Amino acid sequence: MFSSVQSFKSIFLKKLESTYGKSFEETTKQDQYQVLGQMVREYISEYWILTNEKYRFTKAKTVYYLSIEFLLGRLLGNNLLNLGITDVVKKGLKELNINLDEIEEAESDAGLGNGGLGRLAACFLDSLASLELPGHGCGIRYKHGLFEQKFVDGFQVELPEQWLRQGNVWEVRKPDLAVEIPFWGRVQTYHDGERLCFQHLEAETIMAVPYDMPIVGYRNKTVNALRLWSAEPSPLPYHKDVMQYKKETEAVSEILYPDDTHDEGKILRLKQQYFLVAASVRSIIRSYRKKNNNIRDLHEKVSIHINDTHPVLAIPELMRILLDEERLGWEEAWEITTKTISYTNHTTMSEALEKWPIRIFKPLLPRIYMIVEEINERFCRELWKKYEGDWKRIEEMAIIAHDQVKMAHLAIVGSHSVNGVAYLHTEILKHREMNLFYQYEPEKFNNKTNGITHRRWLIKANPELTKLIKEGIGDKWIRQPEQLTELMRLKDDEQFLIRLKDIKQKNKEKLALRILQQTGTKVDLASIFDVQVKRLHAYKRQLLNVLHILYLFNRMKEDRNFKPYPRTFIFGAKASPGYYYAKKIIKLINTVADLVNNDKEVCDYIKVVFLENYRVSLAEEIFPAADVSEQISTASKEASGTGNMKFMMNGAVTLGTMDGANVEIFERIGSENIYIFGLRAEEVMNYYQNGGYHSREYYHYDRRIREVVDGLVNGIVSDSYGHFEPIYDSLLMQNDQYFVLKDFSSYAEAQERIGMDFSNVLEWSKKSLINIANSGYFSSDRTIGEYAKDIWKISTPQNVLQ
């Protein structure tokens, strides 16, 4: 089918016409996408079957990565790349006068995630398959992914996302593997002569139907699976109101919840979490049972990883199966469970740690609640043995306290490994946020610095750069990304540096076109493309960026001789619909954009562009075109960041704080190749602990700050809808919790250095090259290699079949 351009072309044409019953000329890009997608899926299925046979035959230990989010983006281009058939397809289509890029754009993003955590899960699946490791994803098949964002008058408006509107060629529905998940009802306890037994009665059941999507490894014939569960009514609903029941059931996999830590305790979200976990664990056990007969060896053949606490109910759910269905004793069941499960933490912010009120938890999941209670009681008893009389410590560590279930505590207690996502983050977990648990069981804690797949984020997103790197150092780095360091040999090769700059320029041209198309704004191609793309959060400090833009604006207005190096400030960010403050910042950025872009004296030097609906497919166009990567979170707040790595791999230079993985980027490239500013994590945490920061002092003593902050309320940046008092207040009345004013001068100074350094073309290109050369460490292949070896104990199985 893809063995020659000729055969591809003829099969594609035939299929196209037979599927749609119209002549080739009449088919749309969408028709063409559907047919190409089907052909690729058919081609994949042969390898999929072989991979499964290999896993069955070798009985290889398998990891299941449970995640409430998988932010996959588009799959066609990536599958073609990993299968190694991009060129055949491209050539064949070209002969038919079709541009492959346009067909790719007909695919909707699979946007089943909020941001970093969900995209990390997607990168991990790509790396597992590419390293030929037995590992599958388990998630939810949301009918609607993260909302679509539009701006109306500069305000964010949310629209329901509809990725399934045209169907999904990549999924296979498997109704025969459906499982029933019970909610509500009551638990009856009885004695069967041998032991206490528990029966869940009068439950309302929801059917979980799996849809499998193939995850294709890089040119290695490995195809793993992402199993997404869809909620449907059970066939025999003992229900009064059938329509009502149908609606309530389907609601469970209807929408992905936006990341909103302010709006807690939505019962439907807990339902989603148990739905994912119960369906996944049942199917894991079923598949284990097919190959193995002794449940006591489960942890030798299966590893279950929980991505943050969202799937933490896998712990009591596995206990339930081992106790109630396999009839093991508590100690035995507990040992198997903890040896099977491992947990990643993605945040240090205590307000973001999940807690569920008992009044919601207990009635919805009565048997699971009983098990959590027992886990808590036994855990507290163990604590008592070690810390007799230390009530305060035990209360702080308990899983259930103050009428709440603390999901992070359950995750730590019920798993054998707890990891953070960057060195600094893990240190903060060990020595601050989770210190009591670290004191109790230090051996559980470990770091796994995040990574990104260089296949999507470099090879796919930046083909020109990929070509240049191959010319420079060959292609060993494609399978061993750390070999990118070979590029260091070329850091003084002027010709190579010029070519690198030319590629960046071309990518900037492409992005400029997209910007013009979507916003109507014309940007200066010679300007610095200075980019901040990520979710909107106070701690990520988009506010610092925009206040600095206002400062440049004020300065230009005041001093006619002040001409900054031309800049295009590019933003992309979704705010959670209920996050009032974040939405104000969006409006502020759009207001500043209007002000700056329409000012005749300023707009030749500064442009501000806020791209709507930031998502994976847009990100793939942005990273290759960036000169400066803004990673400016308040130190200690950003667990890792992964956008920072995507920018670096595409040759952007970081302007950042010593936070998350920025610290490790800094260590690898040295101070000449990154712009570091601001408070260190240690200083921030000391201020939180001891006080001593007074934002008003910075306002009073720094005229630049005063003018900018006053601008928020005196009419400079305001409009018919009013001013930005809430932002003004956060800075001055609420003492600027994220140290925006404190870090302002050091940020402005770093920005000024960037402006000066950028004009030295060769020197800048050298920084860019050094960033690329050292980005291989941040490939998720390295990260997954570490998880596989240290946590999951899985390895590549022998190739038994030919």
Instruction: Report the catalytic residues.
Output: 346, 534-535, 540, 642, 646
Question: Which one among 44, 110, 120, 625 touches ligand 26Q, defined by CB under 6 A?
Answer: 120
Of 527 and 642, CB closest to ligand 26Q: 642
> Minimum CB separation from ligand 26Q for residue 342, in Å?
15
Beta strand pairing status for 186-191 and 196-201? antiparallel
Of 115 and 797, CB closest to ligand 26Q: 115
CA-based radius of gyration for the chain: 27
> Minimum CB separation from ligand 26Q for residue 590, in Å?
24
Question: What are the tokens at 635?
Answer: 């130190």
433 binds ligand 26Q (CB under 6 A): no
> Minimum CB separation from ligand 26Q for residue 130, in Å?
19
Stretches 113-121, 273-281, 730-738, 742-750: which one binds ligand 26Q (CB under 6 A)?
Answer: 113-121
636 binds ligand 26Q (CB under 6 A): no
Alpha carbon distance 373, 675 (integer Å): 50
Angle at 320 between CA 319 and CA 322, to 5 degrees: 65
Interaction residues for ligand 26Q, span 18-47 (CB under 6 A): none
Alpha carbon distance 707, 459 (integer Å): 45
638 binds ligand 26Q (CB under 6 A): yes
Of 223 and 788, CB closest to ligand 26Q: 788
542 binds ligand 26Q (CB under 6 A): no
Of 503 and 635, CB closest to ligand 26Q: 635
259 binds ligand 26Q (CB under 6 A): yes
Instruction: Please count the CA atoms within 13 angstroms of the CA of 324 that sit on its side-chain side.
Output: 18
For residue 462, what is the enclosing H or E element?
Answer: none
641 binds ligand 26Q (CB under 6 A): yes
Of 82 and 347, CB closest to ligand 26Q: 347
Q: Which stretches of 157-254 are DSSP H helices?
A: 242-250
Stretches 171-179, 217-225, 397-405, 639-647: which one binds ligand 26Q (CB under 6 A)?
Answer: 639-647
Stretches 35-43, 109-117, 431-439, 467-475: which one binds ligand 26Q (CB under 6 A)?
Answer: 109-117
Alpha carbon distance 28, 37 (integer Å): 14
Residue of closest CB approach to ligand 26Q: 116
Alpha carbon distance 411, 405 (integer Å): 11
For residue 251, what is the enclosing H or E element?
Answer: none
Of 269 and 432, CB closest to ligand 26Q: 269
346 binds ligand 26Q (CB under 6 A): yes
Helix 5-20, helix 29-58: angle, nearest 10: 110
DSSP label of 341: E
Question: Which one among 76, 83, 89, 117 touches ligand 26Q, defined by CB under 6 A?
Answer: 117
Reduced to 3 states (helix: H, G, I; strand: E, B; else coil), residue 653 is strand
261 binds ligand 26Q (CB under 6 A): yes
146 binds ligand 26Q (CB under 6 A): no
Stretches 48-56, 83-91, 148-156, 632-640: which one binds ligand 26Q (CB under 6 A)?
Answer: 632-640
420 binds ligand 26Q (CB under 6 A): no
Alpha carbon distance 480, 785 (integer Å): 12
Q: Judge whether 605 and 564 are in contact, CB under 8 Å.
A: yes
- Smallest Cα–Cα separation from 455: which of 486, 478, 482, 480? 478
Stretches 102-110, 255-263, 315-323, 398-406: which one binds ligand 26Q (CB under 6 A)?
Answer: 255-263
Instruction: Indicate the length of the chain as a whole number.
Output: 802
> Minimum CB separation from ligand 26Q for residue 688, in Å?
18
| Residue 603 neighbours by CB distance under 10 Å | 16
Question: What are the tokens at 19?
Answer: 């599927």
Q: Judge whether 109 and 615 are in contact, CB under 8 Å.
A: yes
Question: Which one among 257, 565, 666, 687 touches ligand 26Q, defined by CB under 6 A?
Answer: 257
Of 405 and 478, CB closest to ligand 26Q: 405
Residue type, 403: D
Interaction residues for ligand 26Q, span 262-321 (CB under 6 A): 269
Question: Which one among 421, 487, 669, 712 touches ligand 26Q, defined by CB under 6 A?
Answer: 421
| Residue 190 neighbours by CB distance under 10 Å | 8
The pattern of x and - marking residues 645 through 684 that bind ligand 26Q according to CB under 6 A reads: ---------------x------------------------
Stretches 73-81, 551-559, 635-643, 698-706: which one binds ligand 26Q (CB under 6 A)?
Answer: 635-643
483 vs 219, 354, 472, CA distance in Å?
19, 40, 12
For residue 491, what is the enclosing H or E element?
Answer: none
Stretches 241-249, 254-262, 491-499, 669-677: which one binds ligand 26Q (CB under 6 A)?
Answer: 254-262
Question: Which one among 419, 450, 542, 780 touches ligand 26Q, defined by CB under 6 A?
Answer: 450
Of 363 and 577, CB closest to ligand 26Q: 577
139 binds ligand 26Q (CB under 6 A): no
Alpha carbon distance 321, 587 (integer Å): 50
Angle at 292 between CA 289 and CA 298, to 5 degrees: 80
> Minimum CB separation from ligand 26Q for residue 663, in Å?
12
Tokens 């070209």 — which residue? 94
640 binds ligand 26Q (CB under 6 A): yes
532 binds ligand 26Q (CB under 6 A): no
Stretches 96-104, 122-130, 258-266, 330-338: which one binds ligand 26Q (CB under 6 A)?
Answer: 258-266
> Minimum CB separation from ligand 26Q for residue 196, in Å?
35
Stretches 233-241, 410-418, 637-645, 686-694: which one binds ligand 26Q (CB under 6 A)?
Answer: 637-645
Question: Which one among 318, 582, 639, 653 touches ligand 26Q, defined by CB under 6 A?
Answer: 639
> Minimum CB separation from ligand 26Q for residue 567, in Å?
26
Helix 703-711, helix 542-558: angle, nearest 10: 110
Angle at 293 between CA 292 and CA 299, to 5 degrees: 60
Alpha carbon distance 711, 626 (integer Å): 29
Question: Which one among 73, 77, 116, 182 touches ligand 26Q, defined by CB under 6 A?
Answer: 116
Alpha carbon distance 149, 147 (integer Å): 6
Question: Which one among 115, 135, 472, 656 touches ligand 26Q, defined by CB under 6 A?
Answer: 115
DSSP label of 114: S
Alpha carbon distance 685, 510 (integer Å): 42
- Give strand pairing partners of 213: 226
114 binds ligand 26Q (CB under 6 A): yes
Alpha carbon distance 180, 664 (integer Å): 45
Question: What are the tokens at 788?
Answer: 């596989």
Q: Judge whether 34 and 19 are in contact, CB under 8 Å.
A: yes
Of 156 and 347, CB closest to ligand 26Q: 347
Q: Judge whether 446 and 415 are in contact, CB under 8 Å.
A: no
Reduced to 3 states (helix: H, G, I; strand: E, B; else coil), residue 62 is strand
Of 113 and 472, CB closest to ligand 26Q: 113
Question: Which one among 532, 642, 751, 774 touches ligand 26Q, defined by CB under 6 A?
Answer: 642
Residues that bind ligand 26Q (CB under 6 A): 114-117, 120, 257, 259-261, 269, 346-347, 421, 450, 638-642, 660
